[in-house]
């Protein structure tokens, strides 16, 4: 394993990510701690508790971080995200969803308030300097955006900085009344590294080659990417106005036939906005060469789902999976290490690689 790598900030001079990052376990393990443990992660399968005393244990990024956490609603009705590991001997505190007045570890009886504060511990008389702050359950930063809930084990950047560019551009959409649709939400398992999947999403180059039919309604000549500190926006322009957004005169994109706003938020989240609603892609690493992608659908206009570039997302996904899995096999070749970028069509991938270099080399 090479110690570090660089991505030249000038895209015309830069070389792509070293091939080893896509398949060597040492790089995968480094990404877990330096990227995923420090970034905002969507709680994709978590139903948000509402009533005081409601507790819900879950595992953050199962198969990757595998961090035991618990959502609680305290007596003041405040939603909390806490470590679900007892500060005595490391047992799980909450082992099932329910309604309780306090949290109690069944191993040795240590109790905590619903906000994680240490409450009591049997047979600990005479223990010096006890309890201390570290005897509380650690509280995990928790944020909400529309119907989506996020947490971060060790934030490397603020949530507001992460979502602000997206909020400013698509905040006019009825996100708060979007309804989750389980019938069109599903998981895909891919034999490829998580970063390869993101690479493919972030570049425009492959659209006319891989999605020539499935995304034929996009005007490739007008397709463009914008960069933000911790994300990108790809703007898909429709060939006709029938399946485009109705944008107000004061919107930045007024006058353009925008068919989709494709947002990627570092490191592993895609939020795809269509006139009918929001399609989320959550990319979860399972191993150096295995990835789970969760497609989650949130709908606010069911009548528009059957048309436009967001009408057949499964077909688009199958086309992407096929090519990404082929690339995964290719990057293991003895004859490949690094390539070059198209300055016109791969600015998003270049931006992603610079962020990877920054975090992995940290």
Q: 63, 66, 101, 64: which is closest to 85 by C-alpha? A: 66
pTM, 2 dp: 0.95
Q: Which domains does the chain have, with CATH numbers?
A: 41-154 (2.102.10.10), 160-360 (3.90.380.10)
Helix, strand, coil abundance in the chain, percent, nearest 5: 25, 30, 50
Sign of the alpha-carbon dihedral angle for 214, 220, 223, 224: positive
> Cα dist. 177→103, 180, 245, 264, 309 in Å?
33, 10, 17, 22, 22
Token pair listed for 112: 């905590």
pLDDT in tens, the chain (362 residues): 567 899 999 999 999 999 999 999 999 999 999 999 999 999 987 788 889 999 999 999 999 999 999 999 999 999 999 999 999 999 999 999 999 999 999 999 999 999 999 999 999 999 999 999 999 999 999 999 999 999 999 999 999 999 999 999 999 999 999 999 999 999 999 999 999 999 999 998 898 888 888 888 888 999 999 999 999 999 999 988 878 999 999 999 999 999 999 999 999 999 999 999 999 999 999 999 999 999 999 999 998 988 888 888 899 889 999 999 999 999 999 999 999 999 999 999 999 999 999 999 98
Token pair listed for 180: 């989750």
Sequence-distant contacts of 84-87: CB under 8 A, at least 24 apart: 84/57, 84/137, 85/137, 86/110, 87/118, 87/134, 87/135, 87/136, 87/137
């Amino acid at each position: 394993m090479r110690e570090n790598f660089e991505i030249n900030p000038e895209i015309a001079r830069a070389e792509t990510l070293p091939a080893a990052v896509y398949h060597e376990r040492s790089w995968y393990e480094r990404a877990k701690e330096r990227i995923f443990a420090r970034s905002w992660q969507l709680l994709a399968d978590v139903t948000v508790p509402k009533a005081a005393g409601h507790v819900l244990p879950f595992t953050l990024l199962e198969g990757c971080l595998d961090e035991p956490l618990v959502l609680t609603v305290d007596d003041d009705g405040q939603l909390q995200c806490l470590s679900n590991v007892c500060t005595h001997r490391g047992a799980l505190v909450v082992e099932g969803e329910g309604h309780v007045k306090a949290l109690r570890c069944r191993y040795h009886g240590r109790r905590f308030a619903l906000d994680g504060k240490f409450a009591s511990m049997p047979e600990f008389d005479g223990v010096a300097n006890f309890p201390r702050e570290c005897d509380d359950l650690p509280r995990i930063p928790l944020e909400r955006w529309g119907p989506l809930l996020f947490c971060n084990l060790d934030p490397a950047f603020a949530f507001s900085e992460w979502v602000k560019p997206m909020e400013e551009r698509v905040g006019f959409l009825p996100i708060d009344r979007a309804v989750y649709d389980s019938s069109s939400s599903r998981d895909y398992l891919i034999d490829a590294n998580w970063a390869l999947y993101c690479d493919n999403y972030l570049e425009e180059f492959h659209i006319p080659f891989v999605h020539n039919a499935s995304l034929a309604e996009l005007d490739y000549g007008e397709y463009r990417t914008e960069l933000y500190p911790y994300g990108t926006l790809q703007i898909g322009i429709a060939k006709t106005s029938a399946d485009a957004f109705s944008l107000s005169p004061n919107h930045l994109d007024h006058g353009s036939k925008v068919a989709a706003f494709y947002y990627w938020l570092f490191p592993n989240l895609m939020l795809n906005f269509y006139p009918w609603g929001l399609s989320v892609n959550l990319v979860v690493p399972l191993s150096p060469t295995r990835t789970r992608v969760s497609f989650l659908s949130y709908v606010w206009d069911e009548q528009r789902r059957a048309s436009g570039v967001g009408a057949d997302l499964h077909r688009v996904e199958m086309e992407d999976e096929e090519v990404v899995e082929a690339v995964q096999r290719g990057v293991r070749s003895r004859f490949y290490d690094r390539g070059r970028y198209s300055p016109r069509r791969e600015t998003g991938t270049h931006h992603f690689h610079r962020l990877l270099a920054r975090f992995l080399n940290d």
